[in-house]
Amino acid sequence: MSKVLYRTYRPKTFQEVSGQEHVVRTVLNQYASGSIAHAYLFTGPRGVGKTTTARLIAKLVNCFSPKKNEPCNACDACVSIASGQALDVYEIDAASHTGVDTVRETVIDSVRFAPNVLKKKVYIIDEVHMLSTSAFNALLKTLEEPPEHVLFVLATTEIHKVPETIISRCQRFDFKRISADELVERMKGIVKEEGVRVDETVLREIARHSGGCARDAESLLGQVLALGEKEIGMTEASLVLPATQTVLVEVFVRSLKDHAAAQAMTQFNTYLEEGIDLRQFVSDTISWLRDRLLETVGGKTNEFSIAFLQTAIEELLATQQMRANEQLPQLPVELAIIKICGVDFHKQGVDSSRKGKSEEIIVTVAPPCLPAGRGFSLGEAIDEPPNPPTVFDTVPIISLEDVKNKWPEVYEQIKSCNASLPMLMQSCEVCGVEGEHVELGFEYGLYVETINQEKNRRLIEGVFEQVLGQRLRVKAIQKKSKHSEDEMVGELLQEFGGSVV
Ligand SMILES: [Zn+2]
């Protein structure tokens, strides 16, 4: 449904190409001095403008009335190339099965013949590293003695797979990831064209998620614009943008602070099972802790003690240096959890000489829901737990009434960490609780879909965990609306000629 911005706003001139000035300037200088190469090799990450630039070169060398080193975008040559109809411009995706055969048979054979209409035949071969050895050999012969009327542009994301013999016959350009500033500038141009106001914070967030890839940025922007609003801020955009891990990190850190080792361990392992990247999670947690440390030192908050923040940062940093066991990559973090939870920050502050000694370890028994094979032995520490057992010692069952009583608190918490979800949650009703499963009823299917999206579901589960002290599974369901029930009653009454008493 979302508009394909990447195609609509593909740069039509070299001026519009973002972030690849070094390539553009060299190519245009060559063009101006009549020394365009016969073969270019573009390498770099996906979605940064390699094929776009290749098409621009195809236009430039064939344009009937170029203006100031730019294709006119109006002549027959420019128009036919832009629409993909030009007989003399061949675009081949070597990653497809047909690509390999096309290169070997069609390209190499047709190279000898003069162009049909245009000045030059242009062969754009994308993902060229995928070619077979025989196809590379055939291509190499052509590159060694290229006919005057032919121009090759090869593009690849994996230059190390391209034979040295091919690379040495081409003029090579390395395309860079596009900087966040450049992506934001580009997106500003697009939203202006679309007549929509989008907050710069939203554009920055999109740029951050795109990792320097224009195609990803424009695809995300397309989804944001598809919301159909005329003004889009973070509130609206957060429904579409990928979840940040901030909420998960926060929930995890609070468990550490509460010395709830078992709980932190379960959270951490659940996140992993749900596909979170371990290294990313650890570094996100460290940077979140650092932010709190700066705030605490600066006197802005006293929610966490400096001793806790310092210990947690040190222990997590240490896990990044540890050589992880291949079968159990999560082990260093699990050990860090035990160490962090074992320090009594109120009694001793940070005493690194005693930190981590077994007699200090205050941990609760591993929860029954800890995944099999990921359990850990606490040795003697289990025999005499110095702390009262956590809620995990009992079977995690909670009543519908408990959940309903705590609902206002849950709602307030959700409001504090997400701006858009509360709009949907307002109409929500806690329908049922069974074991660890909580059913939330909504009137509209769209709401159900949104709440059941992993990032939203996780956020709500995280809040439930904070408020109720145990991990619950949340599922949104569609409840029968009052309205339709009334209608049904009305219909029945009509049918049987009765009335409501
Ligand atoms: Zn033209």
For residue 73, report the distance from its CA to the centre of ligand 1, in Å: 5
Mean pLDDT of the chain: 81
Q: Are strands 150-156 and 171-174 parallel, antiparallel or unpaired?
A: unpaired
Above 70 in pLDDT, residue 474? yes
Instruction: Count Cα atoms within 13 angstroms, Cβ side, for 283.
Output: 5
Distance 74 CA to ligand 1 centre (A): 5
pLDDT of res. 360: 38
Helices (H), 19-159: 21-32, 50-62, 76-82, 97-101, 108-110, 133-144
Residue 90 confidence (pLDDT): 92
Residue 457 has what pLDDT? 85
Compute the distance from residue 284 Cα to the ligand 1 centre, in Å.
49
pLDDT exceeds cutoff 60 at 365:
no
- Compute, in angstroms, the gap from residue 478 CA to the centroid of ligand 1: 56
What's the angle, vertex CA 5, arms to CA 4 and CA 7, rounded to 5?
A: 75
Tell me the CA–centroid distance for residue 119 and ligand 1, in Å.
Answer: 12
Are 178 and 212 within 8 A, CB to CB? yes
Ligand 1 centroid from CA 274, angstroms: 52
Whether the per-residue pLDDT at 372 is higher than 50: the answer is no
**Ligand 1 centre from 183 Cα, in Å?**
27
Average pLDDT over residues 431-449: 82
With CA atoms as reference, report the closest residue to 398 among 457, 474, 341. 474
Q: How much distance in Å is there from the Cα of 472 to the middle of ligand 1?
A: 62
pLDDT at 192 over 90: yes
| pLDDT tens-digit readout, 303-337 | 899 999 999 999 999 998 887 677 788 899 999 99
- Report pLDDT for 326: 75
Q: What distance in angstroms lies between residue 113's CA and the mean position of ligand 1's atoms?
A: 23
Q: Considering the chain, tell me which residue range(s) the CATH 3.30.300.180 domain(s) occupy.
A: 400-483
Q: Is the pLDDT at 427 greater than 80, yes or no? A: no
63 CA distance to ligand 1 middle (Å): 4
Confidence band, pLDDT 50/70/90 cuts, at residue 180: confident
- For ligand 1, the distance from its centroid to the CA atom of residue 13, given in whole angstroms, is 11
Percent of residues, the chain, with pLDDT higher than 90: 41
Main-chain dihedrals φ then ψ at residue 386, nearest 5 degrees: -75, -15
Ligand 1 centroid – CA 91 distance (Å): 19
Q: What is the pLDDT of residue 153?
A: 97
| Averaged pLDDT, 134-142 | 88
- Flag the least confident range among 369-378, 416-425, 456-465, 471-480: 369-378
According to the per-residue pLDDT averaged within each range, which of 40-44, 266-270, 456-460 is highest? 40-44
Residue 235 C-alpha to ligand 1 middle, in angstroms?
44
- Mean predicted confidence (pLDDT) in 54-68: 95
Distance 146 CA to ligand 1 centre (A): 25
Residue 62's pLDDT is what? 97
Q: CA 296, 297, 301: angle at the middle one, nearest 5?
A: 25
pLDDT of residue 97: 64
Question: How remote is the CA of residue 64 from the centroid of ligand 1, in Å?
Answer: 5
Domain range 20-174, its CATH number among 3.90.650.10, 3.40.50.300, 3.40.80.10, 3.60.20.30 = 3.40.50.300
Residues with CB under 5 A from ligand 1 (ion): 63, 71-72, 75, 78
Strands (E), 178-267: 197-198, 231-232
The values of phi and psi at residue 268, to 5°, are -60, -45
pLDDT beyond 70 at 401: yes
The strand pair at 437-442 and 429-434 is best described as antiparallel
What pLDDT sits at residue 244?
A: 59
Q: Is the pLDDT of residue 51 over 90?
A: yes
Pairwise CA distance, residues 422 & 450, whole Å? 12
Confidence at 14, pLDDT banded by 50, 70, 90: very high
Domain with CATH 3.40.50.300 in the chain: 20-174
Ligand 1 centroid to Cα of residue 52, in Å, is 16
Classify strands 197-198 and 171-174 as parallel, antiparallel or unpaired.
unpaired
* ipTM for the whole complex: 0.99
User: Comparing 238 with 40, which gets the higher pLDDT?
Assistant: 40
Q: What is the pLDDT of residue 324?
A: 67
What pLDDT was estimated at residue 413? Answer: 80
| Ligand 1 center from residue 62 Cα (angstroms) | 7
pLDDT for res 99: 61
Q: What is the DSSP track for 192-203?
A: HHHT-EE-HHHH
Q: How confident is the model at residue 400 (pLDDT cuts 50, 70, 90)?
A: confident
Q: How would you write 375-400 as a 3-class SS string?
A: CCCCHHHHCCCCCCCCHHHCCCCCCH
Residue 103 CA to ligand 1 centre (angstroms): 27
CA 79 to centroid of ligand 1, rounded, Å: 7
- Residue 72 Cα to ligand 1 midpoint, Å, equals 4
CA of 48 to the centre of ligand 1 (A): 24
Instruction: Give per-residue pLDDT as tens, 196-227.
Output: 999 988 898 888 778 789 998 999 899 899 88
Query: Domain 400-483 is in which class?
Result: alpha beta
Q: Is the dihedral of CA 274, 276, 279, 282 positive or negative?
A: negative
Asked if the model's pLDDT at residue 359 lies above 70, the reply is no
Distance 39 CA to ligand 1 centre (A): 21
pLDDT tier at 481 (50, 70, 90 boundaries)?
low
Q: With cut-offs at 50, 70 and 90, classify the pLDDT of residue 81.
A: very high
- Residue 65 alpha carbon to ligand 1 centre in Å: 5
Separation CA 140–CA 277 (nearest Å): 41
In whole angstroms, what is the distance from residue 340 CA to residue 394 CA? Answer: 24
Whether 423 shows a pLDDT value over 80: the answer reads no
Please give the span between the terminal C-alpha atoms of the chain, in angstroms, as a whole number.
48
The answer to whether 428 and 443 are in contact (CB under 8 A) is no
